[in-house]
A and B are shown apart, each in its own frame.
Chain A
Amino acid sequence: MEEKLSLELKNISKSFPGVKALSDVSFSAIPGKVCGIVGVNGAGKSTMMNILGGLLQPDEGGKILINGKEVKIESPKAATDLGIAFIQQEVQVFDTMVVYENVLAADFDKWRKSKNSLVLDRRAMKKEVQRHLDALGSHIDLDAPVYSLTVGEKQLLQIARALSQGGRILLFDEPTSSLSDNEIARLFEIINTLKEQGYIIFYISHFLDEIFTLCDNVIVLRDGQKTGDADISDIDKEKLVSMMLGHMIEGNARSDVRKQSDVVLRAEHISGVKFPKDVSFDLHKGEILGVWGLLGSGRSELFNALLGIDEMTDGRLYYGENGKLDEITQKDLYRHIGYLTEGRHFDGLFLNMTIGNNITSSDLGRFSSRLLGILNTKKEAEESRSLMKQVNVKAVDENMIVSKLSGGNQQKVIIAKWFLKDPDILFMDEPTKGVDIGAKAEIQNLIFEKSEKGMSFVIISSELEEIMSLCDRIIVICEGRLVGEVSKSDFSKDSLMKGIVSQEENHAD
């Protein structure tokens, strides 16, 4: 490092229509320290990273200083030129190319034999790559095709690529999510080596252990604001968690804790290929059951395995009807449930179809004649309209194409779709994700209304506040296992976090 490297952010804000994703965030980083960045979903971590990476422009008034000079990062290219490099969560490599080609893939132009030559100077390329790999202490064969490498080695390639592009400020975004324990240890060694070599390193992770093992200081974001900036030695996990979550309103909208009624679903020892691991729970009629866990804890995987979307390797399901609890197959269970998925566009909507066609997709059989399946489109339109009214979808009519609606309205269409089926149990994965405040409250009220009428809910939410105000009972998932259950009277952020924290400590032993 020829000059003294430094990075400083001053009063960075970023507004999106209706939301302030970041407000007045300032911090600085110096070489020789790994700086952890933590926060729950939606806290503003990605927005900040995207600003540093040149994908987003901050609002007027903020300043980014590199080596004391104010800079504007207008594009990803500009970020690279300034020495900012990302190491992404998903490993991004060209599988069929060999190692050294992968490392230098971003700038082959630099490696032409002469300026206009079509031939690459492969010897020089290899030498360059070997230099970076040596610095990382790696012994990967330069000529090995990348598909033959492990995930950990591929990640290493990404780091080498970042270094070869002149990266001096390295942003690691959840780099361990697909690595094995050994590979994680290896990655930490490498990060520590880089730290000693004078790079500025940011490390984003949901795994609090990792933050404590690796980082020297930590920056905490919550609701777009910096709520903590501390040396790691000054804080402990509990303190960090309370910085992440802040002070919660611990009262909630539904005050009457309903008395336990009949069990409508009993899941026993549900296991999937990776996650979940041996999860059992009961769901009562009219109950709203929360599933809480950090991102990557296997929450969505629990739903997918339980409902047969992904393979369920082990487990039994029992379904309760008229007070009798009988074992049921996944296929039969699916007739009694609805599943609002996390990916609205991926598997929630038929984007290019009308609102009406979307709403009736959950229970088409109701509109078709028994023998030939002839659709009664008039009845379809009527019921779609009445459901649109019930959940308050703002649109001209049921013939509008769904892709033209706002995110909140799209989410309401999915809710209308499942309300049409009127299942006994509705599974919801992040029901208010990407939805504005107004729609959020409406959706929560709809959930309450339906549960009063006896529909049971199982809800995943990353927002503690939401899950605490919605649910009657919360089960806590960590690394695919059920690690705790909290009943309404004990709801507090501490009781929910304790499960996760203590589990991680056990795991570290």
Chain B
Amino acid sequence: MSDKLRQFAHNNKQLLGMTAAIAIMFVTLSFTVKDFMSYQNITNLLSQVAPIAIMASGVTFVLVTGGMDISSPSVMAASAVVGVYYMTATGNLAIGTLVVLAVAAALGLINGFAIAKLKMVPLVVTLSMMTVATGLATVLSGSVGLPILPPEYSGFFNKYTVIGMLIVIPGILDYILKGTSFGREIYYIGNNQNTARISGVNNDKVVIITYVICGICAGIAGIINTASISTARASMGPQSQILDIISAAVIGGVSVNGGKGRVRDACLGALLIVGINNVMNMLGVSDYYTTLIKGSIIIFAMGIASFRAYISAKKGA
């Protein structure tokens, strides 16, 4: 039994580290911040984590192939705006929700196609997609903004549904990445795309699908965000939010060089990042300091990752 335990600890260093960090954060805060551990605050915190965690899950797929997608928040806003536009035009909320997902998937497909088939640089493609999607959202929502949706929508996607989605969607995605042959192929590509090709993996197809998944995740986040403000607008996906998403993944041990990382850990990273945001907010820290601290955390997390790689390389030699 102790052998198994040791094996588990060895394979899940990241998980244990993250859990410890989160536990420390929660314990400290429950003593220092008034009402932090209240039911209200915890459920609020979790529902705030959901969109970031789900987008981070999608980005994890892309990062593990060795790619990069910085268009998530903009795709989220654009797909939500198109969906809400459709809902207000037709009054059909269910189909409108599917429209959100379809638009998000389509934008992800464009990213994936440009990167896998046209061999364009991921950062450039998704940077362009970011501005295009933001533009699309701004144009459609106009200067007055879209009307408020009927209350059924927010009623359906309430706090508890959202928390449920936070558990179920990353759970499924984590299983796809870790437990299916498709997920394994993603790791193969991220580890060595040449070897993957020789081994018979259809690299282009797999890469395209990861960008589509990333898009769909942005769409799901769009649905959640739409429900929380009962409408959609371009500003709901601030471009700076990508920093939170990427940092969640990186803190969760997802390698920006590809081949390494798990959805589960990226979601815990999201919890940590949103937790920090939340706390800073409660303590009344200015936004400027918040970004400063978050940026430092990413550099620190990446520093730890490369230090670890250095240590293990040294051990191997």
A404 touching B316, Cβ below 8 Å = yes
In the complex, 21 of the A-B residue pairs with CB atoms within 8 angstroms, ordered by the A residue number, are A309-B197, A347-B197, A348-B195, A349-B192, A350-B196, A351-B191, A352-B191, A353-B259, A357-B187, A357-B188, A361-B188, A361-B195, A361-B201, A362-B199, A362-B200, A367-B181, A373-B182, A374-B180, A375-B180, A375-B181, A401-B316
- Complex Cα gap A120–B194 (Å): 43
- Complex Cα gap A334–B197 (Å): 11
How many contacts A-B (CB < 8 Å)? 67
A372 touching B180, Cβ below 8 Å = yes
A309 touching B198, Cβ below 8 Å = yes
The answer to whether the Cβ of A339 comes within 8 Å of any Cβ in the partner chain is yes
The answer to whether the Cβ of A365 comes within 8 Å of any Cβ in the partner chain is yes
Residues of B near any A CB (own CB < 8 A): 179-182, 184-185, 187-188, 191-192, 194-201, 259-260, 316
Q: Which of the residues A339, A351, A364, A372 comes within 8 Å of B192, measured between beta carbons?
A: A351
Q: Which of the residues A350, A373, A403, A404 comes within 8 Å of B195, measured between beta carbons?
A: A350
Q: Which residues of A contact B199 (CB under 8 A)?
A: 361-362, 417
- Complex Cα gap A364–B191 (Å): 16
Q: How far is the CB of A397 from chain B (nearest CB, A)?
A: 10
A375 touching B179, Cβ below 8 Å = yes
B180 touching A348, Cβ below 8 Å = no
Q: Which residues of A contact B316 (CB under 8 A)?
A: 401, 403-404
A373 touching B181, Cβ below 8 Å = yes
B200 touching A350, Cβ below 8 Å = no
Q: How far is the CB of B199 from chain A (nearest CB, A)?
A: 4
- Complex Cα gap A471–B197 (Å): 28
- Complex Cα gap A364–B180 (Å): 10
- Complex Cα gap A373–B177 (Å): 11
Q: Which residues of B contact A417 (CB under 8 A)?
A: 199
Q: Which residues of B contact A368 (CB under 8 A)?
A: 180-181
Q: How far is the CB of A280 from chain B (nearest CB, A)?
A: 24
The answer to whether the Cβ of A432 comes within 8 Å of any Cβ in the partner chain is no
Residues of A near any B CB (own CB < 8 A): 309, 334-335, 339, 341, 343, 346-353, 357, 361-365, 367-368, 372-375, 377, 401, 403-404, 417
Q: Which residues of A contact B195 (CB under 8 A)?
A: 347-350, 361
- Complex Cα gap A353–B198 (Å): 16
Q: How far is the CB of B206 from chain A (nearest CB, A)?
A: 12
- Complex Cα gap A343–B196 (Å): 13
Q: How far is the CB of A361 from chain B (nearest CB, A)?
A: 4
- Complex Cα gap A362–B185 (Å): 11
- Complex Cα gap A368–B259 (Å): 20
Q: Which of the residues B179, B180, B182, B192 comes within 8 Å of A347, measured between beta carbons?
A: B192
Q: Which residues of B contact A403 (CB under 8 A)?
A: 316
Q: Which residues of B contact A352 (CB under 8 A)?
A: 191, 259-260
Q: Which residues of A contact B197 (CB under 8 A)?
A: 309, 347
3 tightest A-B contacts by CB? A347-B194, A368-B181, A350-B191
A373 touching B180, Cβ below 8 Å = yes
Q: Indicate the member of B181, B198, B200, B201 with the most A CB atoms within 10 Å.
A: B198
Check A353/B191 contact, CB under 8 A, given A362-B199, A372-B180: yes
A350 touching B181, Cβ below 8 Å = no
- Complex Cα gap A399–B199 (Å): 20
B194 touching A346, Cβ below 8 Å = yes
Q: Please, which residue of chain B has its CB at the minimum distance from the CB of A361? A: B199
- Complex Cα gap A339–B197 (Å): 11
Q: Which residues of B contact A348 (CB under 8 A)?
A: 195, 198
- Complex Cα gap A17–B181 (Å): 40
Q: Please, which residue of chain B has its CB at the minimum distance from the CB of A366? A: B181
Q: How far is the CB of B251 from chain A (nearest CB, A)?
A: 20
- Complex Cα gap A47–B216 (Å): 55
B188 touching A350, Cβ below 8 Å = yes
Q: Which residues of A contact B192 (CB under 8 A)?
A: 347, 349-351
- Complex Cα gap A179–B197 (Å): 30
Q: Which residues of B contact A350 (CB under 8 A)?
A: 187-188, 191-192, 195-196, 259
Given A357-B187, A404-B316, output 8 extra A-B contacts at Cβ < 8 Å: A347-B192, A349-B195, A350-B196, A353-B191, A357-B188, A364-B184, A368-B181, A373-B182
Q: Which residues of B contact A357 (CB under 8 A)?
A: 184, 187-188
Q: Please, which residue of chain A has its CB at the minimum distance from the CB of B189? A: A350
- Complex Cα gap A350–B192 (Å): 6
Q: Which residues of A contact B200 (CB under 8 A)?
A: 334-335, 362-363
- Complex Cα gap A339–B194 (Å): 12
Q: Please, which residue of chain B has its CB at the minimum distance from the CB of A339? A: B198
- Complex Cα gap A368–B181 (Å): 6
- Complex Cα gap A373–B206 (Å): 14
Q: Please, which residue of chain B has its CB at the minimum distance from the CB of A335? A: B200
- Complex Cα gap A343–B201 (Å): 18
Q: Which residues of A contact B181 (CB under 8 A)?
A: 364-365, 367-368, 373, 375
Q: Indicate the member of B191, B194, B199, B260 with the most A CB atoms within 10 Å.
A: B199
- Complex Cα gap A350–B188 (Å): 7
- Complex Cα gap A368–B182 (Å): 9
Q: How far is the CB of A318 from chain B (nearest CB, A)?
A: 21
- Complex Cα gap A375–B192 (Å): 21
- Complex Cα gap A494–B180 (Å): 53
Q: Please, which residue of chain A has its CB at the minimum distance from the CB of B257? A: A352
B184 touching A375, Cβ below 8 Å = yes
Q: Please, which residue of chain B has its CB at the minimum distance from the CB of A340? A: B198
Q: Please, which residue of chain A has its CB at the minimum distance from the CB of B194? A: A347
Q: Which residues of A contact B194 (CB under 8 A)?
A: 343, 346-347
- Complex Cα gap A374–B184 (Å): 10
Q: Indicate the member of B180, B188, B195, B196 with the most A CB atoms within 10 Å.
A: B195
Q: Please, which residue of chain B has its CB at the minimum distance from the CB of A402? A: B191
Q: Which residues of A contact B198 (CB under 8 A)?
A: 309, 339, 341, 347-348
Q: Which residues of A contact B196 (CB under 8 A)?
A: 350, 361
- Complex Cα gap A365–B180 (Å): 10
Q: Which residues of B contact A343 (CB under 8 A)?
A: 194
- Complex Cα gap A349–B199 (Å): 9
Q: How far is the CB of A219 from chain B (nearest CB, A)?
A: 35
Q: Which residues of B contact A351 (CB under 8 A)?
A: 191-192
Q: Please, which residue of chain A has its CB at the minimum distance from the CB of B313? A: A403
Q: How far is the CB of B253 from chain A (nearest CB, A)?
A: 14
- Complex Cα gap A348–B197 (Å): 10
- Complex Cα gap A461–B230 (Å): 69
Q: How far is the CB of A359 from chain B (nearest CB, A)?
A: 11
- Complex Cα gap A374–B183 (Å): 9
Q: How far is the CB of B37 from chain A (nearest CB, A)?
A: 38
Q: Please, which residue of chain A has its CB at the minimum distance from the CB of B7? A: A399
Q: How far is the CB of A133 from chain B (nearest CB, A)?
A: 38
- Complex Cα gap A364–B188 (Å): 11
Q: Which residues of A contact B182 (CB under 8 A)?
A: 373
Q: Which residues of A contact B180 (CB under 8 A)?
A: 368, 372-375
